[in-house]
Amino acid sequence: MRKSYLYYSIASAIPAALGFIIAIFLSRNITTEDYGYIGVFAMILYIVEPLLFFFNVGLLELKFVKLDNDSYSNYKLKYINFGLVNFLIILTIFIILSFLFKDYTFLLLIIPFIALTRMFLKIVWMELIQSKKAKEYAFSFLTFSLLIFGFTLVSVGYFDMAWEGRLISLLLPEIFIVIYFFYDIKWDFVKYTKEELSSVVKFGLPLFVALGAAWMLQEADKFIVLKLIDISSLGIYTFAYLIGRIMKIVNQPIMQILRPIYYRDLRDGLLSKKIYIRNIILFIVVVFSIAIFINLLLVYFIEFIPESYRLGLDVVKIIVFAFACHGVYQLSCTVLDYHKLNTLKTKLLYVGAIINILFSVLLINRFGILAPAYGTLIGFGVIAILSLFYGLRQLK
């Protein structure tokens, strides 16, 4: 277990550092308006990506735990085919939209392809984690991160491609990793049975409803900045968000260790309230300590950040704690996921989303781009507490 945690930590620490460097590199090489387009990309992708597989990564994860190898492989192929059909539908819609919104043509055309590659990547990462192949996961994820880092430096720094170069730098490494892991798969167009499709809809529908809440929690802050201020301010906010979301990467090692253990202990009836609370407390101490460390570290990098972006550092200080709370929510929701309490998760997300929107809109005249960051922090904090409470209720 210690060795696995070491591999997962390495696979999180290095990409986090690379992400930090890239966020600053982009601020020195593209305008705040160009950075704003990256924010628009993130807002749209957040909606499109889960639509490909109808929010069923969690269901596939459960199938991986419960089914034998052959049954799981057959189910995975159905899952992939379902996503490919949805991809063609979404691509057609976005091609039409590209004619209506010509300023966003490139962005609209690349999003469906990035969403598709990420569907495959989610399968890869999930299988490696659930199989406890920490070393293989670390190697593949580090390779993936280094490729993105290198492509970004070349496309933006050398070819001067601005925000378009950043998006291409995300897509190409994803294609390489997908080809590497899926080149030998035996393709066959098998479809879900009626019972399986019913299960997919039943599992995914509450999460489909929850998508609006999840988007409001994680992306609506960008939309509010765009609509109530301007795209340049969105660029500053997106820059800050890219640094702050490093906390999401920091959360991963503990999540990757505990989630498979939780699923197996829940299956065997071994996860007690005492163990659950102990793990949550440990997680909170670790991630909040790291959030404090990241804020202290920003002081030493301020000279590398252009003056036009420095307002974003105040946003970073808030966002890192927001994503620390998000990590607590995710870990607490492991119990809810196992019991397929997606309707409850949806309700929790909407509570947090409404809080986020209210604080963001009401305070933006007073705090500017800091208001959505405060709204995100409070929203995530509330749902972290609520998910912990309801998770405990499911345990003996």
**Spatial distance between the Cα atoms of 29 and 23, rounded to a whole number of angstroms:** 10
pLDDT digits (tens, 9 = 90+) for 359-383: 888 888 888 889 999 999 999 999 9
In the DSSP assignment, the letter for residue 229 is T
Q: Give the Cα-Cα-Cα angle 209, 211, 216 (nearest 5 degrees).
A: 120
Q: What is the pLDDT of residues 278-288, one digit of tens each?
A: 888 888 888 88
Burial (Cβ within 10 Å: 0-12, 13-18, ≥19) of residue 41: buried
Q: Please state, in angstroms and rounded to a whole number, the distance separating the CA atoms of residues 119 and 83.
A: 8
Q: pTM to 2 decimals?
A: 0.84
Find which of 55-59, 93-97, 194-198, 252-256 is predicted with most confidence, using mean pLDDT: 93-97
Confidence tier at 396 by pLDDT (50, 70, 90): low
Domain boundaries, the chain: 2-393
Banded pLDDT at 165 (limits 50, 70, 90): very high
Residue with tokens 């091609």: 95
Q: What is the DSSP string of 281-342?
A: HHHHHHHHHHHHHHHHHGGGGGGGS-GGGTTHHHHHHHHHHHHHHHHHHHHHHHHHHHTT-H
- Which H or E run includes 130? helix 105-130
Check: CB of residue 37 under 8 Å from CB of residue 163. yes
User: What is the distance between the alpha carbons of residues 123 and 285, in angstroms, rounded to a whole number?
Assistant: 30
Q: What is the pLDDT of residue 12?
A: 78
Average pLDDT over residues 12-21: 85
For residue 199, what are its two tokens?
A: 């299960």
With cut-offs at 50, 70 and 90, classify the pLDDT of residue 263.
Answer: confident
